[in-house]
A and B are shown apart, each in its own frame.
Chain A
Amino acid sequence: MLDKVVVANRGAVAARVLRALNSLGVSSVAVYSDADADAPYLALASETFHIGAAPARESYLNQDALLEVLRVSHADGLHPGYGFLSENHRFAQRVQDAGACFVGPSPRWIDAMGHKTRARELAAQHGLPVGRGTGVLLGDSQAMLRAAEQIGYPVLVKPAAGGGGIGMIAVYKPEELAAAVERAASLAERGFANAEVYLERLVERPRHVEIQVLGDSTGAVRHLFERDCSVQRRHQKIIEEAPAPAIAREHVERLAAQVAQVLGRIGYDNIGTVEMLMGPDGQFSFLEMNTRLQVEHGVTEEVTGVDLVAAQLRSAAGESLSEILPARIAMDGHAIQARVYAEDSKRFFPSPGPLQRFRPPRGEGIRVETGYREGQQVTAHYDPLLAKVIAHAPTRQAAISRLVEALEAFEIQGVKNNVPALVAILRSDEFRSGRVHTGLAAEVLARVR
């Protein structure tokens, strides 16, 4: 096992990884920016280091500062969390070059999956279902129009190096294509320092279903079933659950088995998630692969009983899957996570401010992941996630009731929050029926306003 691991992140995921390190008896190093000097999770770490000013590029994205912490603390591992540098293959390589273990897949897998069209090609080559789409667009407007025609409208323009729904534009008519491509390229350049964009078939009212996998250093890969993350606002997930509701088990488990088999064949070697869209016809198509721990890993942990962060650390340290995971993994009950954001419930505008009151709910089957405590300041420098509330119960309906009850008991004052929106969605007939899709949140919220 590793001796000492730097947690190169902040907030709820830093707290989560520090807990996992403590449970494994591994020494931990937490880092913090000026804005996070009061963060409660710093108390969980064996050592803490200040790494810079509040803006992320000066702290949590500052590779040199993080590598310096690695050197000075004599740590032999670095966990990147999610977001920030977690999918930066150059940073992963630098950590390895410094003689430490990067807790994640090999840099070559981060690189291969980070580029969307190359990842799509790889998936297609290995027989995973991939929707119609193009490679990177080369700027020839006639070729672009022909490609869109071949895919069939509506099409989606997407950044090749992107993520998080940034720079995605739907195009319904040929005359809108050129302007959309130009705008997407400009957003992509600004957001990801890479202006490459491509076209994909726009699946209307799709479901977002993803497969959780874990690989080891020998390239053995197993899946830990699926999550449904269809409930989104601004192309970002707000409610996630496992198992996916209202899908035949054999349909989704066949997909999960196929995903694990393909990743095993290519030698994928740590934690990852393969995101798929499911059309109204039940067809899956490959969307992308995230080569890191996901924000929603907790729902999988609740239903499988596997500590994914500890498993990821043990895999990175060289243990084999047969040592890390039980021989048979099954799902027990149903788990749903709601992301509580500091943003208003109507327009989803961010709302930084002081947490004058912050009392997360407690109760049977309720788990809360947060990096905040009462009295702390929520700044405009980072994402608006205040807490993840996870409910686990024997059935989906019971999990929904438990989650609604917990959210309503969550006391938050000083910043606006999206709890009213989350509760409205969880209570809606559409969500309760399990017929979820990525447009559900907008439809429900338009009605209750």
Chain B
Amino acid sequence: MATYEARSEVTGSVWNVVCEVGQRLEPGDTVMVIESMKMEIPVIAEDGGVVKEILVAKGTAVTEGQPVAVLEAK
């Protein structure tokens, strides 16, 4: 079991969190959507896995590279 952090690729704010703690995601699934400069950029669970922790709430400002969720991959 390896835990990893899903990170925002852009500076912006959390538009929508689309997963819940405990949920199992497939590789490539969306964890949350970041809004920046009128664009919506998804944060992807690269390796999939179970969502262990969501680090930011809807509306929170995030910076590029900031961890926004912790996942545990198989």
* Complex Cα gap A352–B41 (Å): 13
B9 at the interface (CB under 8 A from A): yes
Q: What band does the interface of chain A fall in when counting residues whose beta carbon is under 8 Å from B?
A: 10 to 19
A342-374 residues with Cβ-Cβ distance < 8 A to B are: 342-343, 349-353
Specify which of B9, B10, B12, B13 lies most central, judged by the most chain A CB atoms within 10 Å of its CB.
B10
Nearest A residue to B35, CB-CB:
A380
Residues of B within 8 A of A380 (CB): 10-13, 35-37, 61
Q: Please give the number of chain B residues whose Cβ is less than 8 angstroms from any Cβ of chain A in the complex.
A: 13
Specify which of A234, A342, A380, A384 lies most central, judged by the most chain B CB atoms within 10 Å of its CB.
A380
Contact with A along B33-54 (1 / 0, CB 8 A): 0011111010000000000000
Nearest A residue to B11, CB-CB:
A352
A382 at the interface (CB under 8 A from B): yes
Residues of B within 8 A of A383 (CB): 37-38
Contact A349 B41 (CB under 8 A): yes
Contact A352 B38 (CB under 8 A): no
Contact with B along A148-182 (1 / 0, CB 8 A): 00000000000000000000000000000000000
Residues of A within 8 A of B36 (CB): 350, 352, 380
Residues of B within 8 A of A352 (CB): 10-12, 36-37
* Complex Cα gap A349–B61 (Å): 16
* Complex Cα gap A11–B9 (Å): 25
Q: Which 5 A-B pairs have the closest CB atoms?
A: A350-B37, A350-B36, A384-B37, A380-B36, A380-B12
Q: For the A-B complex with A349-B9, A349-B10, A380-B37 known, give 20 more contacts whose Cβ atoms are closer than 8 Å.
A: A342-B37, A349-B41, A350-B10, A350-B12, A350-B36, A350-B39, A351-B10, A351-B11, A352-B11, A352-B12, A352-B36, A352-B37, A380-B10, A380-B11, A380-B12, A380-B35, A380-B61, A382-B37, A382-B38, A384-B39
**In the assembled complex, how far is the CB of residue A341 from the closest CB belonging to chain B, in whole angstroms?**
8
Contact B11 A353 (CB under 8 A): yes
**In the assembled complex, how far is the CB of residue A116 from the closest CB belonging to chain B, in whole angstroms?**
20
**In the assembled complex, how far is the CB of residue B28 from the closest CB belonging to chain A, in whole angstroms?**
15
* Complex Cα gap A149–B54 (Å): 45
* Complex Cα gap A349–B34 (Å): 11
**In the assembled complex, how far is the CB of residue B11 from the closest CB belonging to chain A, in whole angstroms?**
5
